[in-house]
Amino acid sequence: MMSAPTMSEQTARPGASILTAVAVRNLTKTFAAPGAAGRFTVLDAITLSVGEGEFVSIVGPSGCGKSTLLNIIAGIESHESGAVMVGSRAGHAGSQARIGYVFQSPRLLNWLTVQANIEFVLEAQNIPRPRWQELVAKHLALVGLAGQEPNYPLNLSGGMQQRLAIARALAIEPDVLLMDEPFSHLDAITARKMRFDLLDILAKARTTILFVTHDLSEAVFLSDRVYMMSIRPARIFKEVRVDVSRPRRPEDSRILDLEKTLVREFFGALEAK
């Protein structure tokens, strides 16, 4: 599947369709500003969408509200105005849709075996017990951790722990997988390998991804589309399609060129204020 160099109207990723998996319209969120009158705007009229099977990134500087945006989409944080829809089911985000989440750090339950770590989310999502074994085995194999079921997380390297976190998120067969800078805690070499492997995994799992990062080159290499976000105001100021066929190489000149242009634009926008 990875070899097909086709580029559809919507996306460069084969298997992606025009169905919308995540839609955010005019989302605004404010916090009470500490020590000051009025409120501090965390997210300002954010509008974005992710097509089914699409890989979309949001790039922005630290503190621009990317994680808050993911949490609102996951349904664990509130917002004042605007609409969030996940998995083509309207309503409050996360109320019905299955949402997988991969955090910056693996956030594993170290006292549970690898298998029990995945079973924890299967139980949380009310997935019937007879399916557990198959789901665990399938997704561990997908991330290259086959046979690790009885092992404990502390036995795994940092990269393997994050793979387990990915397997855990995929095991619930999510409508969308939210990833919050998942490779930022890994060393550069492991992170690079993880990026390749993530694309490999997704080619098989065909999951919709919304990926948050501060690393532009990571976003360009991985994504079908990239949203660029500014800080104060926390807005999306640009949307870019990465029309480069897969499989990709990070040193592909088209990727590098796009990266260069975006870096210029990104810092231009940040410094213009």
**Which of residues 3 and 126 has its CB atom nearest to another protein in the complex?**
126
Dihedral pair phi/psi, residue 133, rounded to 5°: -55, -45
**Which of residues 121 and 269 has its CB atom nearest to another protein in the complex?**
121
Tokens of 198: 């993530």
Beta carbon of residue 127, minimum distance to another protein (angstroms, whole number): 11
> Number of H helices and number of E strands within the chain?
7, 9
Residue 213 CB coordination number (10 Å): 22
CA pair distance 162, 104, nearest whole angstrom: 9
Beta carbon of residue 196, minimum distance to another protein (angstroms, whole number): 20
Report whether the peptide linkage leading into residue 153 is cis, meaning its omega lies within 30 degrees of zero: no
Beta carbon of residue 263, minimum distance to another protein (angstroms, whole number): 31
**Which of residues 37 and 154 has its CB atom nearest to another protein in the complex?**
154
Tokens of 261: 């242009």
CA pair distance 266, 60, nearest whole angstrom: 9
Beta carbon of residue 15, minimum distance to another protein (angstroms, whole number): 25
Residues 6+ apart with CB under 8 A from 188: none
**Which of residues 27 and 72 has its CB atom nearest to another protein in the complex?**
72
**Which of residues 117 and 213 has its CB atom nearest to another protein in the complex?**
117
The three-state secondary structure class of 212 is strand
Residue ranges in contact with another protein by CB under 8 A: 71, 74, 76, 94, 99, 101, 103, 105, 107, 109-113, 120-121, 123-125, 147-148, 150-156, 160, 172
Beta carbon of residue 261, minimum distance to another protein (angstroms, whole number): 35
